[in-house]
Amino acid sequence: MAGCKGGHMICMYWWVLIIVIMLCSLIVGSQCAAFNDLFYPNWAADHVMSHGDLLQLKLDHTSGAGFASKSTYIFGKVNVQMKLVPGDSAGTVTAFYMSSQGDQHDEFDYEFLGNTSGEPYVVQTNVYSNGVGNREQRIYLWFDPTANFHSYSFLWNRHQAVFFVDDVPIRVFWNNEKVGVPYPETQPMGVYSSIWNADDWATQGGRIKTDWNHAPFISTYTNFNIDACKYNPGSSCTSWWDQPTYASLNAKQSMQLKWVHDKYMIYDYCTDSVRFPTPPPECALLT
């Protein structure tokens, strides 16, 4: 760079490159990566389409599609920007989730339930710990998730697992092992996404079926970020998410979470007395 030999345009190129690298470091923390650096197609590779910085998953009458991370992680933050299936997406589900393996697996789920044109998308979240799920919550989003890209994230540490949409917390699963609720903290999890046909339940309880005349159904992704401890047996790591400030939501985040739940939540397993005449123990702590 000394003297920036080679002309003004080369100087400008190098300065732009340096600025981009610095921004990646500031925004992402540990990884500012392309799809192929972090993930691989794990279902129907011919339905996983790459277009420059964009990745698309396609669902048609022959197959859905999916991808998985090349590594597994234990604690950290995972983020992706998504643009969901536009138009009549009834019967389809696009999922973004973290999961370990086996019958006693841990899992954090976003499931975006397709809709008929003009109706809001439903986002269903779920948490599995030691193979036990049935912790569904459903919300509407406060924007059209098909019009532009929006960020969907998991922040996971020893104290809490937080689901974020555009940095707004929509769900928290706290570590309540003290009351006998298993908490995901020992099993490394991979990062996954997929799209598939689920018209037996996804839209209005299965009353609205997938209209294959509108296929293919396409979800689009960009800006894959993983700032997390890559699992290595016998070793451990700590980072910013272990700091006390991330052991709970701050005051602003707590207000945001209440706003989401008050205005946009349409189902919460904690208040479903038909399914759970006795509230699950983690729910009883909220009353």
| Residue 166 CB neighbour total at 10 angstroms | 14
**Quick one: how many helices (H) and strands (E) in the chain?**
4, 15
Answer whether 183's CB lies under 8 Å from 129's CB: yes
Which long-range contacts link 102-109 to residues 24+ away (Cβ below 8 Å)? 102/131, 103/131, 104/130, 104/131, 104/187, 105/131, 105/187, 106/130, 106/184, 106/187, 106/189, 107/133, 107/184, 107/189, 108/154, 108/156, 108/161, 108/163, 108/173, 108/184, 108/189
Catalytic residues: 107, 111
How far, in Å, CA of 159 to CA of 244, rounded?
9
How far, in Å, CA of 86 to CA of 111, rounded?
16
DSSP H/E element including 19 = helix 8-28
